[in-house]
Chains A and B, each alone.
Chain A
Amino acid sequence: MENNEVIGPKSRDRDTKGAKIYRFLKLNSFDELEMDYTRSYSSPKNYFLPFKEDLATYDLRDTGWEQEIRYTIHPRIIVGMRACDINALLKLDQVMLKSQYPNPYYSARRRNTVIIGLDHEPLEDCFCRSMNTDTAFHGFDLFMTDIGEKYFVAINSDTGYMILNRFDSCEVGEEDQLLYKEVRGRIESKFKTQVDITIVPELMDLEFESDVWKRWGDKCLSCGSCAMVCPTCYCYGIEEDIDLNFDKATKRRFLYSCNLLDFATVAGGHNFRPEAHIRLKYRYYHQFRGFVEAFNQSLCVGCNRCGKACLAGISPKAVIDDLIGTEKR
């Protein structure tokens, strides 16, 4: 473990109300790990889909060029991932690994990362239970639940087992099982926010022209913060740079957001999604309708990071409630 990069939740700063802001960052010692963290501001997806990543480099010559693709990374361990983030990775796997064209860059990172999950009590605005992502059954190596004196650990891989063997662990007894069930029950009872999404895929079509979109879209600043912190947003753009001597070039992928103005602008200047409310609508359409059609599950995991990050105060729960018509006006 000492030789590998370990990533875990760390507090970086405090917000205006004095609450800690957490992020998944490289840990230098065990003391830096804050197991009681609430919610990381940005999701750990960026260790699989970094904000910027060099896809290829080019050696330019007078007679042509040579391309070099590199995607090997050093093994990495992520400690303290929430069930929603693990489920988010499973959804990304559907797109990045199990589709027609697997993504080698993502695949390399996914295979070389050990994931140690951690259960937590839901926050005020978590609605992962409504999205069915409050528990993780696979997609991790170890998953820990705090049952008082001990941790109840689910093992899902041999790597996880080997790691666990280095620690002082014991078999699960009858008492531990009861404690675990009790803790799970307590967690489940503490969900305060609920979003009913059963009819949302259909509503997306029925209410496509609804003024709900205009109302929320007019608030949207088209800044793309929501997509940056989202654990499942994977839209990207590609840019190519050439260095000043004209002998090296880089092809770089950077995460993008479907809320940004030029998301669907084609050469010649035609924009297929010229207005903020259309782009906002499509963000929800992809999450709750398009992805459902393709993979039978919605892309949203209910972490409400986008709601927290949004400068205009647009939260997914409010938009969906408004769409369903349950929000009191």
Chain B
Amino acid sequence: MNRKPRPQHRPCQQLDQLSDWRQRLFTRRQLLIAAAAGSLAAVFPQASVATAGSTKKLDPWPLIDAVQQQLFPNEDHAPGAREINALGYLKFVVSDTTLAPEDREFITRGAAWLEDMAQQMYKKSFLALSNTDQEKVLQRIAASEAGENWLSTLLLYIVEALLTDPVYGGNTQQRGWTWLQHVPGFPRPPLDKTFPRLLS
């Protein structure tokens, strides 16, 4: 794994993002090289060239929606990905200009690879698989570094949708805060003071 141990002592600052960063870097670099060579299979080694070549026609969002529900399922006492609008939140993330273009590509192209893997394993779309089989596809993906990084990235943004301020589109009706008994700070950001507005 390309995951360097993070520095342990850094008072007054947060490092939680760092390990993710270092880790994603490697995959993003591979992606850029692969994009230059026109081959998705080079990034996601087990993908068949046929499916990889047709990724542009594939709508990634229904697939990502299904993966999010698998990664963060709904339960009676605890919200799932849909209950916190994780998909809508992720669409906001990829539309944000502060996100590096290669990160955006990585998120959407990963869906094509997932679909390819489902076809290879079950001759069916990921969307048509049972929970159990979807989980098996995710396990298979997670066994490769690129796949683990893709799932890790989706989990990062699910967690952001769970615990950041609802003004950003996730955490619907503060369900994330309520479930985890988290007390938010105040004053909370109004719509005209969200971070893209502060940057403009």
- Chains A and B come from one and the same complex: no
Binding site for B on A (CB under 8 A): none
